[in-house]
Structure 1
Amino acid sequence: MPSAVVQPEWLDVRLVDVAAVQRWGVAAGLPDAPIEDVRRIGGGTQNVVLRLAWGDRDLVLRRPPEHLRTSSNTALRREMRVLAALAGSDVPHPSLVAGCDDEAVLGGAVFYLMEAVDGSNPGDSLSALYRGSSMARHAAALDTAAALARLAAVDHEAVGLGGLGRPDGFLARQVPRWLDLLASYGQPSGAGLPHIDALAEWLTAHMPTGSRPGIVHGDYHLNNVLLDDESPRVAAIVDWEMCTIGDPLLDLGWLLVTWPGGGGNPVTGDAIATLGGLPGPDELIAHYAARSDRDLSAIGWYTVLAGLKLAIVIEGTHVRALAGKADLTTGRRLHDAAVDLLDRAAAIAGV
């Protein structure tokens, strides 16, 4: 029998049953040791992320949101697969410890355990290294582009991710796919987003040709990286639930359209942006280009697509908030951010 565990009073057993997690873990080969110091940590608005001590190991548990959607478990399974595939690569990422594909363990949700990564989240709080040095902030910010170039260089076929997505026609599918998602939200939420039709027309008319497939993180921005607290670099890229195989330049566009300093409602990186010293978009592009053989001549197009896509994705939280399935304050904040993203995209496209 595994060691006895105590369910934290604040943690709903229907969300994460700690005893059930321990029983599964011991059966999966983890040590028969107490699970202690369980605490919730930031992990975006979509998933439940817990940090815990499993014996002498510092781990993180990640499961889908409380209100499961049809794609929730599929997304977590994708994360497990990607993290396992990246083991041994030069892409900074949390190491996968074990994944639970059995939905019965947590009442319908799959989940996984990964090694905890200590570091600063640029959107939340920063260590003394970054608070005290604009040079460190600048260097670490540039490394977000370098880390992305390393991800784009991974041979997805060689690491076993050949079937993760459908790279053929990836760019052509983007606009219809995200417009369909927006339409599925219904009224009145979608009606409050500007520039949608004009951006869709511009993107369709200016789509690049001949893109080379690779791993796409799908949600790459400052709030989804952890910066090393000892040296100015990216310690880990996190939140892989939107990962696929497609055109990796969409990730660079995503980083650019969410980059602090674009005016309006801040999208990401509040903590580091407040202190300043960040490189501008042109410097990020040059830093990426120096480490990649990809053609960046159409990077404006990818940035516009990223703005449209991310705006529609985060508007989904607003929709769920209006339905009582997410925090209303968070939903309204993300709606404002979606409007700002679309304004930025329209300015780049000139529509």
Structure 2
Amino acid sequence: MSSADIVGIDAGAVGRWFASLGVDFAGPLAFERIGLGQSNLTYLVKDQDGHRWVLRRPPLGHLLASAHDVAREARILTALESTVVPTPRVLGLTDEPAVTDVPLLLMEFVDGQVVDTMSIARSLTPERRRAIGMSLPRTLAKIHAVDLQVTGLTGLAGHKPYAQRQLKRWSAQWERSRTRELPALEDLTRRLVAAVPEQREPTLVHGDFHLRNVITSYDTGEVTAVLDWELSTLGDPLADLGSLLAYWPAKGENTSGDFAATALDGFPTREELVAAYSAASGRDLTALGYWHALGLWKVAIIAEGVMRRAMDEPRNKAASGTPTAERIDALVAKAHEVADTAGV
């Protein structure tokens, strides 16, 4: 596909924008859709000398309010440049009509391994899988230790309790994007609303932290960049750990669709992730079962939204395939099981 045909990008206008930013490049630029992102679209941009950058834009078609805010993502990434959280550097952000009809975010390209397909996960040694897995909770602890005053992120979100905000937001998302009746999910929502834990100190939360959303070192397996900050906000740090557990199926669990990477030998167990986070953060993890169940609930709602978007606008389908009703049902069933264990 030539760059002129790339969906969602005006190659000539983006080239002129690069020049206006002072980015040194040998034109013409070539664009390639990368990643398996089902929300914001991500493109690898290359020039004639092999230099690389990454460009992000919201998805095509009708958007739910605030769901795909690349300007917000740019603000968070810029604020994190001075911290120990590994992130790509922001090079530019534009919503100029001469360049684009939606906001575009330009970032540096961070080289490394993204474990976002089963073939990549299978190609790794068990030792490398373990190193990557154990780096994730340590990286989360770094995100949750960010000084909100110093980074200027205190105003990123209201300081109302995060659980209520999440339940309200994702329940509304469910109502707008569901494709069917699902009484088990409605029942789970009621359980979560009735058992909201006490709000602890608000920290920066990533909002969608999992294996596919990080770049890792080819040498050590350590996380070298955390990606996809569009859902980041201020909230309860255990929500991120609960999300990570929700995206971390064990052997024999059917909640992962086509991506059961974490069930492969070498990847740490959920219990090991929790122990590593506890050691790195020193936090009280009493309420974690609640946040694990809420994480599964949220993943189910996100998956339903992706299924709906792919039905409504086939061009939004990503290479990873589209979630199925069976997988969403499995996520809801697992959430009920986790909630039972946690006494929710």
Could you say whether these structures have the same fold, taking a TM-score greater than 0.5 normalized by the shorter chain as the test? yes
Q: Which runs of 5+ in 1 are unaligned?
A: 1-5
2:13 touches 2:98 (CA, 8 Å); kept in 1?
no
Shift of 1:24: 1.5
Cα distance in 2 for partners of 1:274, 1:88 equals 35
Structure 1 pair 73–173 and aligned structure 2 pair: CA distance change class (3 A) = closer
Report the residue type matching 1:89 in the other structure: T
Structure 1 pair 29–72 and aligned structure 2 pair: CA distance change class (3 A) = farther
- What secondary structure does 1:30 align onto? coil
Structure 1 pair 331–41 and aligned structure 2 pair: CA distance change class (3 A) = closer
Structure 1 pair 119–194 and aligned structure 2 pair: CA distance change class (3 A) = farther
Structure 1 pair 103–274 and aligned structure 2 pair: CA distance change class (3 A) = farther
Equivalent residue number for residue 86 of structure 1: 80
Cα distance in 1 for partners of 2:96, 2:20 equals 13
Shift of 1:127: 6.6
Matches within 5 A, 1:262-341: 263-267=253-257, 269-270=259-260, 272-273=261-262, 275-325=264-314, 326-327=316-317, 332-341=322-331
Shift of 1:177: 2.7
Structure 1 pair 86–7 and aligned structure 2 pair: CA distance change class (3 A) = same
Matches within 5 A, 1:1-351: 8-12=3-7, 15-31=8-24, 33-54=26-47, 57-71=51-65, 75-106=69-100, 108-124=101-117, 131=123, 133-185=125-177, 189-191=179-181, 193=182, 195-261=184-250, 263-267=253-257, 269-270=259-260, 272-273=261-262, 275-325=264-314, 326-327=316-317, 332-350=322-340
Cα distance in 1 for partners of 2:211, 2:329 equals 19
Structure 1 pair 59–255 and aligned structure 2 pair: CA distance change class (3 A) = same
131-140 vs 296-305, which moves further? 131-140
Deviations 1:298-342 (A, max 9, x none): 100001111112211221121223324543997752544322221
Structure 1 pair 179–290 and aligned structure 2 pair: CA distance change class (3 A) = same
- For these two proteins, the number of residue pairs brought into alignment is 338
Cα distance in 2 for partners of 1:258, 1:73 equals 20
Structure 1 pair 225–335 and aligned structure 2 pair: CA distance change class (3 A) = farther
Report the residue type matching 1:230 in the other structure: D
CA RMSD of aligned residues (A): 2.7
Shift of 1:73: 8.4
Cα distance in 2 for partners of 1:274, 1:119 equals 22
Deviations 1:22-42 (A, max 9, x none): 212222222363143432211
- What secondary structure does 1:229 align onto? coil
1:182 touches 1:190 (CA, 8 Å); kept in 2?
no
Report the residue type matching 1:218 in the other structure: G
1:97 touches 1:113 (CA, 8 Å); kept in 2?
yes
2:25 touches 2:51 (CA, 8 Å); kept in 1?
no
1:73 touches 1:109 (CA, 8 Å); kept in 2?
no
Shift of 1:176: 2.9
173-182 vs 77-86, which moves further? 173-182
1:7 touches 1:19 (CA, 8 Å); kept in 2?
no
Shift of 1:119: 2.1
Cα distance in 1 for partners of 2:323, 2:242 equals 22
Cα distance in 1 for partners of 2:104, 2:335 equals 35
* Identity fraction in percent: 33
2:38 touches 2:318 (CA, 8 Å); kept in 1?
no
Cα distance in 2 for partners of 1:286, 1:313 equals 27
Cα distance in 1 for partners of 2:34, 2:318 equals 20
Deviations 1:193-223 (A, max 9, x none): 3522332232223221131111111111111
1:39 touches 1:51 (CA, 8 Å); kept in 2?
yes
2:86 touches 2:226 (CA, 8 Å); kept in 1?
yes
Equivalent residue number for residue 3 of structure 1: none
Structure 1 pair 140–126 and aligned structure 2 pair: CA distance change class (3 A) = farther
Structure 1 pair 32–68 and aligned structure 2 pair: CA distance change class (3 A) = farther
Report the residue type matching 2:71 in the other structure: R
2:303 touches 2:323 (CA, 8 Å); kept in 1?
no
Cα distance in 2 for partners of 1:337, 1:92 equals 32
Structure 1 pair 194–284 and aligned structure 2 pair: CA distance change class (3 A) = farther
